[in-house]
Structure 1
């Protein structure tokens, strides 16, 4: 609990635009105390939790990590309620790139961030990877389990929020498709640093992210929790890794029933910390 509380205090403090000193002043304590909370060296006195909850505008339960979500993050919770698979069951083309670049000729552990209904996670499991996957939607998690069962493979799927979840175990591959626009700009450095630290030597990150272009109209879906990316931004978080592939594509989409286009940056980066 201590680590989760430490992480949540830091996340929600930043969400409110407060420094450690400002939060400490509002609580009538020293900023060193807040620093120790966020570094998981100590925990707040129980008498401070109601005031801390009020200032950070989250429930005590959520602050302590007992509630994964208390508001809807994505429109797809509703879309995934149907029997049909909203995105289909064919894997993203980037999945084949993973197979080519880092095939499971030995046991490899893979994480699918924002797995949706599970088509990519199940593809990886079917091809021999040890797969963990998470999504913020209950319906998506249930459909991932069903697809895995139907395919005869195991995927360790669980519920988590991209903004709150941090790795505490190492992976060989971290994969995410069509999800990183939910990452608030002020959290990106912290989240990518966490992902990079918990990636094994020679491991890879395979990500894509929607980017804004003046010649492409905004998508018809009105997602209030989506945040813009610009061309090249994703690569700046990987200046110290080997960029195995990077491209920008424009593609047609009909996901909402309204034909539209997206621009997307794709990236494959590899962790190399020792000399060849």
Structure 2
């Protein structure tokens, strides 16, 4: 697993820095064939090369190896989550009820919550009988997800991961995410969504939403350095080969920062059809 993670990260961060395999090889003093083998997980670079790879690709060795730094918060919500109160409350998102209607847990169903925050949706799903895995980039959020699950008396496999780095390696029946996908850089979206789709079970569903840019809505007051723009129709475009259960767009009021503002959000529910109708 480490070899595959390192291979993917070298390739990802090399491209992000605008380097070809030949250019990276020249900087490191190795052959481009060596770099190619690293990126195809055929071999791993010598440990002595990791500091230079890290400097060249402008990423820490920890992140290169797939470990998140514990020293600094990546999300602006780390501080907000580090309290006894639940910043987003404990009531589930309305989309959770759509999941119940579309794929009720009348059999074993594996569900992944991408960017679970403080766990309100993940715990709701577990409470209703789904086998839930959930991750978030916030230490405090993951801890509160586990705490809420314990209070309710259910199990959620919650762990820390960055949506940019984490890739699925197991199949899920349901992939769910709310208010998180704007953290995915545009250059990474094709590969990430291909991974999510690949590791979705036949007839499984994706229930996702993303904030979209609108000229008539002012930018949100929160200054998020790691957020990236999405546009109307962009999320839907990743599911041209799936059955679209729902595709909608809403504008809603928000007061999360203490300053009244609005968001526009695109919603998609898509199903991976296992056979021809």
The TM-score by the shorter chain falls in which range? Answer: over 0.9
Match of 2:212 in 1: 211
Are 1:131 and 1:156, in contact at CA under 8 Å, matched by a contact in 2? yes
Match of 1:40 in 2: 41
Are 1:68 and 1:160, in contact at CA under 8 Å, matched by a contact in 2? no
**Counterpart check, 1:152 vs 2:153:** yes
**Are residues 12 and 69 of structure 1, via their aligned partners in 2, closer, same or farther at CA, if it must alter by over 3 Å?**
farther
Are 1:208 and 1:266, in contact at CA under 8 Å, matched by a contact in 2? yes
**Counterpart check, 1:139 vs 2:130:** no
Q: Deviations over 1:163-214 (max 9, x none)?
A: 0000110000000000000000000011001111100000001100000000
Cα distance in 2 for partners of 1:31, 1:241 equals 38
Q: Point out the more displaced range, 76-85 or 45-54.
A: 45-54
Cα distance in 2 for partners of 1:42, 1:103 equals 44
Match of 2:103 in 1: 102
Cα distance in 1 for partners of 2:127, 2:168 equals 24
**Are residues 189 and 77 of structure 1, via their aligned partners in 2, closer, same or farther at CA, if it must alter by over 3 Å?**
same
Question: Offset at 1:68?
Answer: 4.5
Q: Deviations over 1:1-46 (max 9, x none)?
A: 2111112212221222222232122223332322221111111123
Match of 1:167 in 2: 168
TM-score (norm 2): 0.96
Cα distance in 2 for partners of 1:209, 1:159 equals 21
Match of 1:248 in 2: 249
Counting matched residue pairs gives: 276
Cα distance in 1 for partners of 2:69, 2:168 equals 16
Are 2:68 and 2:161, in contact at CA under 8 Å, matched by a contact in 1? no
RMSD across aligned C-alpha pairs, in angstroms?
Answer: 1.3
Cα distance in 2 for partners of 1:70, 1:174 equals 30
Match of 2:23 in 1: 22
Q: Deviations over 1:60-95 (max 9, x none)?
A: 333223445654321100000111110011000000
Cα distance in 1 for partners of 2:180, 2:83 equals 21
Are 1:68 and 1:159, in contact at CA under 8 Å, matched by a contact in 2? no
Cα distance in 1 for partners of 2:62, 2:209 equals 33
**Are residues 158 and 56 of structure 1, via their aligned partners in 2, closer, same or farther at CA, if it must alter by over 3 Å?**
same
Residue aligned with 2:56, SS: helix
Structure 1 portions without partners, runs of 5+: none
Cα distance in 2 for partners of 1:86, 1:113 equals 18
Structure 2 portions without partners, runs of 5+: none
